[in-house]
Structure 1
Amino acid sequence: MRNLTMRPSKARTYYLGLCLTYHDPALAIVGPDGGILFAEAAERRLQSKRALNAPPDDLFQTPALLQAHCADADEFVIACNWQEPRPLHEHLARWAGWLSPEGILANAGRRLHAWLEPYQLYHMQAAQHHALKSRLLNLARSLRRDFPGVPVRIRAYDHHLSHAALACYGSPFETAACAVIDSYGETGSMAFFDYRDGRLRPVAKLDGPQSLGFYYMKLTELCGFDWLGGEEWKVMGLASYGRADAEVMGWLRDMMQVDGLRLKTGHAVFFDRLQRLESRRRHPEQAPESAADLAHTGQLFFAETVNRLLTNFHARGCSGHLALAGGCALNSVCNGQIPRGTPFRALYVPPAPADDGTALGAAWLAFREDHPGQSFEPGHLSPYLGSEIAAADIERFARYAGVPVRHLPGDALIGAAAELLAQGKILGWLQGKAEFGPRSLGNRSILADPRHAETGERINREVKFRERFRPYAPAILHEYGPDWFEAYQESRYMERTLRFRPEARERVPAVVHVDGTGRLQTVKQSWNPRFHALLEAFHRLSGVPVLLNTSFNVMGKPMVHSMEDAFAVFLGSGMDALVAGDHLFTKPETLP
């Protein structure tokens, strides 16, 4: 920890958490009482997927956020999600020139027993180095101009500890075993913690290049997709169309094995098996069956490996509750299997388990460091922490957009929107604060009636412009969950995939994947009253307590951030109507 000034007594201290990772940068603000005032990934404002190599403390947005949330600040604590000292191997690679453009072009450097090529690994290290080297420059300027004389303290936290803080402090658990499974941190890809009495205690960590995150990146690449663009989702969707390939599974097991809470590489055979895997490289458009079989087998190996690690972790006796974080916790197919495939009794995955979530994790670590004697009540973290579209912006579009629009306060809007959905219309839905994390949860959503299979096909074809094999999520009223899903589990953040009951599948074919599963969102009135009211109204009209819910974006773009973004999708796609606040916008052809 580095102090720039002494801490004044009884200060109104605001905690600014920064994700300084070169991908998925994010900013979080925690108030003097520990409450979350704001948390959002930079990609939303920039409308650039993953905001690669962008700073989290934007020079234009950050000053406005500080004025809105921290105007009365007596002190700031800036909490970063990476330790300042970089590991020795990175300094050596930089000294050897491997992290330079010339080194990356030449694919220079020693070939490690890792899933990725040297140029890919060294590009990541170089990009991370530059992200940390330029850290806080924008924020420092903003604070000096707008808060002159206000003390500022800067702290840096271990990357995986920042992941664990979000997962445990945001969970409903008083005690938990916390597993962080990632691509990499300061020195490795995994860390395990025991959480109790409000404190995180390290249990084990994995050093070295072995990484389930790197493995899934390689699998994404072999299946014809781009992991740099975050296309691992496509592998999960495609996997359901394939079958297990025993030969490929054997190669994967030769290459990486579980040893306690570690991953071991089969050094003697690694590169031979990697070359064999390369021979199976396929693109789903050119060889759909082969690509699907590879995706299916690769997903099976991933889940098998995670379950073995977690079973070994449970044997350490930390807790029967599991808090899971890191980029690999976005694998909803694997998450849904953990309660059945491991001894853990309960699972919590936060809404932003990947690196964007570490901004809030770091801010919480700083707050708790300053309040060591304070007790904290466990409870579910709300995902609705991002930006809110101003009423004035909605009213401006209502006046000038040139499309039919109605102002319908309260229940009138809920009823009108439910009627359109029951008529088969595709609806954009903008309400309140944006979701923190990668999934739309009823505030930045595209919604539709799930009762007709062609609805999902139409959204893929005319709205999202994405591949046909990509599934859609069912949002379901919680009280009906056990009637619709086998071994039903609450899934507040759309973080796990479960199997539909056979008798339910034919009722909502638009949200049932080819293997009979759905990545569901549990909806409760206390969590999102407005979205819950819409679901209830649709249920009364249709007899179905389920809506198709997908993120409000087109393929390759982040979820919409502004009214301008929303109207670009609305007018540039086959969407029928748009709800923003209390205004209902429709296209002329949508009207009866």
Structure 2
Amino acid sequence: MRPSKARTYYLGLCLTYHDPALAIVGPDGGVLFAEAAERRLQSKRALNAPPDDLFQLPALLQAHCADADEFVVACNWQESRPLHERLARWLGWLSPRGILANAGRRVHAWLEPYQLYHMQAAQHHALKSRLLNLARSLRRDFPGIPVRFRGYDHHLCHAALACYGSPFDTAACAVIDSYGETGSMAFFAYRDGRLRPIAGLEGPQSLGFYYMKLTELCGFDWLGGEEWKVMGLASYGKTDAEVLGWLREMMRVEALGLSTRHDVFFDRLQRLEARRRRPGEAPEAAADLAHTGQQFFTETVHCLLSHLHDREGSDNLAFAGGCALNSTCNGQILESTPFQALYVPPAPTDDGTALGAAWLAYREDHPEQVFEASHLSPYLGSEIPVADIERFARYAGLPVRRLPGPALADAAAGLLAEGKILGWVQGRAEFGPRALGNRSILADPRRAETAERINREVKFRERFRPYAPAILHEHGPDWFEAYQESPYMERTLRFRPEARERVPAVVHVDGTGRLQTVNPEWNPRFHDLLSRFHRLSGVPVLLNTSFNVMGKPIVHSMEDAFGVFLGSGLDALAVGDHLFTKPETPS
């Protein structure tokens, strides 16, 4: 029995073996905190790490839930596992010996058995050890307070984040990723605050697995999240008609599902393996493969979404799952399908299901409450304490100025207009994989050499990878064709021809940019900085990329930020009201 008028806090946990995350929803349904574990751990994707970190969790609970009368703990997977996974574990296929031997039945899937069974084994381990740290923390710091546990269908958690966080009252919802409890896709109708399942795919067919395989064939590591590299490389290639024909033979759309041609699948897969980028070859050697693979992915997703529109009828689409991170595909949805409006949440992959699960639990307990459509803020993560900033200002031994109010934006805009590269850390961290003006590296987009310099001296990554334009929302239609708001940097659009030469550092080789539209209501300080840069330069655009180096998550602490600042070619670092510069950087 719930305590009368209890102050109930909802703790959402992503228990997936990759991208674990924690979210806290308050008694009024508001989001108090949401963050992926990789940030604090500074370990990319935080593989096989728990979301309820034993050292961070107590401080978070005291900061956000000190007056709790009750907790509801909501998880992003149902506790019972599907039959095929239990059978594989019983047969020993999920054991280290089974994985080493590549044991198990070869199914018509894009990945090898050892890869599939490693994922299942890692997921089994993640669920087996679920909530141990949380239980200890609650027992010590909140003794006697009731705790209720719930587990939700994985794809339903994705859908909850996409729909409850969207500006829509009604929508069709698509969840497309690598796998859930029994399959890789699910489709929902959203109306009156309720989600209704309308279709789902069971079996090993998976667009997520397909893109993992494409990443591997292009010479990159999907386990490390390098699908981004395929998207960037794709623009340098052209369509290989033979490869595209093989892909279309291997997997095709049937209504709201995918089918595999068993008679040709492994033969075509072997032919694709022959096109694999070899060790030592430059990434550009796989450009045609990346381009063709991306083309097939996009046409397949758009076909599924068109069928969803025919089935559900709503002109609004809420889109989530790992495949919703493909900004190239997202940017063409409104042109290539009947949908008129698109919402992709800031964390569409598994970290976002932590918040989706917490919201599902809250709404289950408040079935009569009317929820107004809103726009989910991405700024839900940790904030660097002022004391840490002041400590570095005192002991770093570098030039530093405290510039409160608009003075910091003035000084930062001036440095950017002079061609300096700036680390920009403000307020709470973004929830999701993209820096949206609070944990960003910023630069002047007018200089063509800027992107190459950042790749070479700051990010230490491949030169073919593009950078994103952050643009003042009010200027978007003047710079992009078929302009759409993109608050979370979730879609790629085409620059207008007359605009491309003005900002060459953020125009990809195919004339596109994965933009972030900046609105003063969503991020007033970043909007102010952009506005001041616009007044100095005549350009309402900044180059914006995540504050990290290749292979590492976005910075979390003051120590992380200073490590990148001092160990790279960054010229200046703005944290809170403090502006740090290097001795050779004019102040």
Aligned to 1:533, which of 528, 537, 540? Answer: 528
Aligned to 1:299, which of 282, 291, 294? Answer: 294
Distance in 1 separating the partners of 2:4 and 2:251: 53
Distance in 2 separating the partners of 1:266 and 1:259: 12
Distance in 1 separating the partners of 2:100 and 2:549: 32
Aligned to 1:510, which of 502, 505, 527? Answer: 505
Distance in 1 separating the partners of 2:138 and 2:280: 51
Distance in 2 separating the partners of 1:110 and 1:287: 35
Distance in 1 separating the partners of 2:278 and 2:42: 27
Aligned to 2:386, which of 380, 386, 391? Answer: 391
Contact 1:338-1:344 at 8 Å conserved across structures: yes
Matched, 1:110 2:105: yes
Q: CA deviation at 1:289?
A: 4.5
| Aligned residue type for 2:529 | L
Contact 1:29-1:38 at 8 Å conserved across structures: yes
Identity %, equivalent residues: 85
| Aligned residue type for 1:515 | D
Contact 1:491-1:520 at 8 Å conserved across structures: yes
Matched, 1:95 2:93: no
Distance in 1 separating the partners of 2:312 and 2:398: 61
Aligned to 1:327, which of 322, 331, 334? Answer: 322
Contact 2:481-2:494 at 8 Å conserved across structures: yes
Distance in 2 separating the partners of 1:283 and 1:27: 39
Deviations 1:10-55 (A, max 9, x none): 1000000000000000000000000000000000000000000000
Distance in 1 separating the partners of 2:313 and 2:556: 41
| Aligned residue type for 1:297 | T
Q: CA deviation at 1:317?
A: 2.8
* Cα RMSD (Å): 0.8
Distance in 2 separating the partners of 1:213 and 1:411: 45
Find the counterpart in structure 1 of residue 47 from structure 2.
52
Q: CA deviation at 1:286?
A: 0.9
Superposition pairs of residues 46-85 of structure 1, within 5 angstroms: 46-85=41-80
Distance in 2 separating the partners of 1:128 and 1:270: 27
Distance in 1 separating the partners of 2:409 and 2:335: 38
Give the TM-score taking structure 2 as reference length. 0.99
Q: CA deviation at 1:7?
A: 1.6
Find the counterpart in structure 2 of residue 578 from structure 1.
573
Deviations 1:220-279 (A, max 9, x none): 000000000000000000000000000000000010000000100010000000000000
Distance in 2 separating the partners of 1:446 and 1:285: 30
Aligned to 2:452, which of 457, 468, 477? Answer: 457
Find the counterpart in structure 2 of residue 280 from structure 1.
275
Contact 2:435-2:545 at 8 Å conserved across structures: yes
Deviations 1:525-573 (A, max 9, x none): 1110000000000000000000000000000000000000000000000
Find the counterpart in structure 2 of residue 32 from structure 1.
27
Matched, 1:257 2:275: no
Q: In the superposition, relative to structure 1, how do residues 127 and 487 fare at CA in structure 2: closer, same or farther (>3 Å)?
A: same
Q: CA deviation at 1:290?
A: 3.7
The runs of 5 or more residues in structure 1 that have no matched partner are: 1-5
Runs of 4+ in 1 over 3 A off after TM superposition: 287-290
What secondary structure is seen at the aligned counterpart in 2 of 1:110?
coil
Distance in 1 separating the partners of 2:133 and 2:408: 42
Matched, 1:376 2:371: yes
| Aligned residue type for 1:46 | L
Find the counterpart in structure 1 of residue 490 from structure 2.
495
Q: CA deviation at 1:461?
A: 0.2
Contact 1:223-1:284 at 8 Å conserved across structures: no
Distance in 1 separating the partners of 2:254 and 2:188: 18
Q: CA deviation at 1:287?
A: 4.8
Find the counterpart in structure 2 of residue 417 from structure 1.
412
Distance in 2 separating the partners of 1:513 and 1:204: 37
| Aligned residue type for 1:58 | D
Aligned to 1:364, which of 351, 359, 362? Answer: 359
Contact 1:194-1:318 at 8 Å conserved across structures: no
Give the TM-score taking structure 1 as reference length. 0.99
Distance in 1 separating the partners of 2:296 and 2:281: 24
| Aligned residue type for 1:78 | V
What secondary structure is seen at the aligned counterpart in 1 of 2:303?
helix
Q: In the superposition, relative to structure 1, how do residues 590 and 283 fare at CA in structure 2: closer, same or farther (>3 Å)?
A: farther
Contact 2:189-2:312 at 8 Å conserved across structures: no
What secondary structure is seen at the aligned counterpart in 1 of 2:239?
coil
Distance in 2 separating the partners of 1:433 and 1:211: 35
Aligned to 1:202, which of 197, 206, 212? Answer: 197
Contact 2:219-2:283 at 8 Å conserved across structures: no
Aligned to 1:475, which of 470, 474, 478? Answer: 470
Deviations 1:146-167 (A, max 9, x none): 0000000000000000000000
